[in-house]
Amino acid sequence: MTTATTGPEAARTAKAAGAAGSAGKPKPATMAQALQRAMRDAMAEDPTVHVMGEDVGTLGGVFRVTDGLAKEFGEDRCTDTPLAEAGILGAAVGMAMYGLRPVVEMQFDAFAYPAFEQLISHVAKMRNRTRGAMPMPIVIRVPYGGGIGGVEHHSDSSEAYYMATPGLHVVTPATVEDAYGLLRAAIASDDPVVFLEPKRLYWSKSDWSPEAPAPVEPIGKAVVRRRGTGATLITYGPSVPVCLEAAEAAQAEGWDLEVVDLRSLVPFDDETVCASVRRTGRAVVVHESTGFAGPGAEIAARVTERCFHHLEAPVLRVAGFDIPYPPPMLERHHLPGVDRILDAVARLQWEAQS
């Protein structure tokens, strides 16, 4: 026979039980924390991994993504550099040639432009130039995209430039889990990787555990984030949560939308993307970059070439407007949102079903 516990003892018992019940539950982690942990784990496992960039050491980066690395590994392995992007990336090329694995941070998306000569002439071509004898294991971390109220040169979506440069891998996570898994894969790669980090998702959270991170799909694989039957939303990075929100809102209109997160822009996963479009028969590509000659143009062309006889309507695009990035007060009109996505879905010739 048991007796009921009351009063202060009952409160203490309940508190202890609650603590025990929550002990095994992972504490929510942000994307920024997952990225920091990925670099920290890679540096701990491999002494050739070096982090470098403007303010990455003492400050821990503008977004605090490298916080604590200099203290743990020393300034020789987490190094503050001068404000000279071409010099930063040029130094990384030399480091990689001599057996190191540099992880370079370009503080903001448009700050990377002065380093393009190094990127295109050397980073992207060195392995091919040496017939594979000299790998280029450089990761170039680029905080990119809008949604944080940044001014000019702080909110660009530059992915089309990198995608159009043969020799580079280009990846962008949309989840905390992918932030860790893709960055670890990028650091381990012997090919140069442009790692695009969506700034507005730095503070998104997940019950991800740094002590036992769940495995994720490798570089080069897309993932279906939401199953649907009516149309496919093809997207990546900061536009993934927007598309998931649009897919939920679309149910009120009777549209069952599938959402594909590309994760990897180069290599591109034609298999997963086209399998989805063949199932649904319709597709909309969504991204923040400009529409003209943007990533969506290439994606729409690939889908059309491979899925033409399965399409019920032309592949449509929802993108940033073909203008320089607008002032903060106007960015909400520039960035693809739920309403613009649903407007595109409405133009997918649904009358063909009747």
Beta bridge partners of 260: 224, 234
Report the candidate in 234, 229, 240 with the shortest Cα–Cα distance to residue 273. Answer: 234
- With beta carbons less than 8 A apart as the criterion, state whether 60 and 105 touch: no
Burial class from Cβ neighbours inside 10 Å (0-12, 13-18, 19+) for residue 254 reads exposed
Q: How far is CA 58 from the centre of its chain?
A: 25
Report the candidate in 235, 228, 239 with the shortest Cα–Cα distance to residue 281. Answer: 228
Sort strands 205-206 and 316-320 into parallel, antiparallel or unpaired: unpaired
Three-class HEC string of 11-45: HHHHHHHHHHHHHCCCCCEEHHHHHHHHHHHHHHH
CA-to-CA distance for 139 and 287, rounded, in angstroms? 23
Torsion sign (Cα): 91, 94, 99, 104: positive
Catalytic pick from 122, 154, 287, 334? 154
- Using only C-alpha atoms, the chain has a radius of gyration, in whole angstroms, of 23
CA-to-CA distance for 96 and 101, rounded, in angstroms? 6
Report the candidate in 138, 70, 69 with the shortest Cα–Cα distance to residue 102. Answer: 138
φ/ψ of residue 152, rounded to 5: -55, 145
The dihedral region occupied by 149, where left means phi > 0, alpha psi between -120 and 50, and beta the remainder, is left
154 tagged catalytic: yes
User: CB neighbours (10 Å) of residue 336?
Assistant: 25
φ/ψ of residue 288, rounded to 5: -80, -25
The verdict on whether omega for the bond into residue 114 sits within 30 degrees of 0, i.e. cis, is no
**Residues labelled catalytic:** 154
